[in-house]
Structure 1
């Protein structure tokens, strides 16, 4: 998981009324600790084959290297966040890992096989979604795809339902040791109106899904691009959180997958 670098929101005064004092920050970019890795805070250790759709993504680019998560949606496609692919020249994909450094195998893919949303805007975290075309993989108990939501569920808010987020990295805002094991935690989806109080309606649009983070349990540094799953279906892509830290109790935000089903299908051919 990639370390967070704070987003500086310099919006014109005409838009100032739409912004809160809390600027969103990507899990990839948090600079609270001097490490390029992070994980779900106060989560649980996953067991082997629990999340076969989870992949680790080790990106390299002109600004260095960083870690993100991703989800297998087809044997030749991984779905992740645009802020993970942004600025990268290549990525090494870690398949079938529970111990982060011990995947079943890896594939390295160049940026020519990235499909980043053309209208991704980092300033307001719009369209934070990317596809990665990969060599075909054979599915197994440890490596498998996750289902996309059905078109019929596009209007579901999921409010009040409990979904599971997963990823690797640090255990807290202060931790510096890289996690050995894949982590996961259950998180409850909240109303966007509640999330807007933390990040504003300019940031939290209908294409964002937010969760509560009680007792310091949240996505954190390096969880960027990873999955938020509900009953075996991918409903969110880890996107941003509070710049004050992962354990402060502020909502965590995800790209809402149901808002991008047509985009995913038109660019990859993958649908529910």
Structure 2
């Protein structure tokens, strides 16, 4: 992602390589079918363009923090929250650094809602997946700061068009990614590659139409904690990377940070404006979760 200080895509010496791929969601194919049971069931998708009425009670489910400072919890949690109207949600975030987009849906109330590490978790209404956790406002679950979700109905046509009908065929442009070893540390100064469809400036309310990548330096844990000492709490399962004018921005959440062919990070959050001097992007450190991943997937 190249920010506006560096000019447009056609500028000589541009800092970004543009990849001609258009997609906004990911669809994963399992190595073997799930066995459905009383605790494992498929979720239904809403109709394309379906709207969820304000005041509808929805359920958000996840392993995220239960307050603004704690790490991921050990048990799956759920909570019922009211859906907000688009107008009320846009109004409450009118002066915030993020913009509520037409493909967002908002839900939450004081003391109830999504929080840190809930990104990507489901928001359910009447057995349908109406939202995917995206970002929070000023703090977790405050009266004037509902959780903001990707509205699934906005992407149902895309999902239907792009769902895999058969296994992927690997080639020069489609390859599996390697994971790091458990608890593997990435040395400060390592050059990592960030990939995503996020905005190229903080004020933008939309993602770009081409997949982009940018090389950025990894920070030491100590330097990153010092940089955010007066902003937010850095957790032991975070890794930081970025430099002035280069890094993640709105719409990059969930995207990969890659070093030496391994996915070392997943975009989590950053302070705004995007890629500010002295404030790197913050990622979930994949190596922290390798044991958990190994326990929950089948290698057969």
Structure-1-length-normalised TM-score: 0.54
The 3 A distance-change label for structure 1 pair 261 and 179 is same
Shift of 1:47: 3.2
Q: Partners in 1 of 2:251 and 2:219 — Cα distance?
A: 23
Distance 1:247 1:265, change over 3 A: same
Q: Which has the larger radius of gyration?
A: 2
Contact map agreement 1:40 1:168 (CA 8 A) in 2:
no
Counterpart residue number, 1:84:
120
How far apart are the structure 2 equivalents of 1:180 and 1:46? 10
Is 1:106 aligned with 2:106? no
Matched, 1:44 2:16: yes
CA displacement, residues 114-150 of structure 1 (integer Å, 9 cap, x when unaligned): xxxxxxxxxxxxxxxxxxxx88632333433211113
Q: In the alignment, is the contact (CA less than 8 A) between 2:238 and 2:282 conserved in 1?
A: yes
Between the aligned partners of 1:205 and 1:168, the Cα distance in structure 2 is 26
The answer to which structure, 1 or 2, has the higher relative contact order (CA under 8 A, 6+ apart) is 1
Q: What is the CA-CA distance between 1:191 and the residue it aligns to?
A: 1.0
Listed as ranges, the matches of 1:22-61 within 5 Å are 41=3, 44-47=16-19, 56-57=25-26
- Cα 1:251/1:178, change in 2 over 3 Å: closer
Q: How many angstroms does 1:236 deviate by?
A: 0.2
Decide whether aligned partners of structure 1 residues 55 and 145 sit closer, same or farther in structure 2, where only a CA change above 3 A counts: farther
Asked if 1:139 is matched to 2:169, the reply is: yes
Give 2:180's aligned residue.
Answer: 149
Q: For residue 258 of structure 1, report the CA deviation from its aligned partner.
A: 0.6
2:226 aligned partner: 197
Q: Which residue of 1 aligns with 2:198?
A: 169
**Matches of 2:131 and 2:17, distance apart in 1:** 25
Contact 1:163 1:230 in 2 (8 A): yes
SS of the counterpart of 1:261? helix
Q: How does 1:243-254 map to 2 (within 5 A)?
A: 244-249=272-277, 250-254=279-283
What is the CA–CA distance in structure 1 between the aligned matches of 2:166 and 2:298, rounded to whole Å?
14
Q: 1:91: how far off?
A: 7.9
For residues 176 and 225 of structure 1, what CA distance do their matches in structure 2 show?
Answer: 18
Partner of 2:289: 260
CA distance in 2, matches of 1:183, 1:189: 19
Between the aligned partners of 1:66 and 1:139, the Cα distance in structure 2 is 33
Give the C-alpha shift of residue 199 in structure 1: 2.7
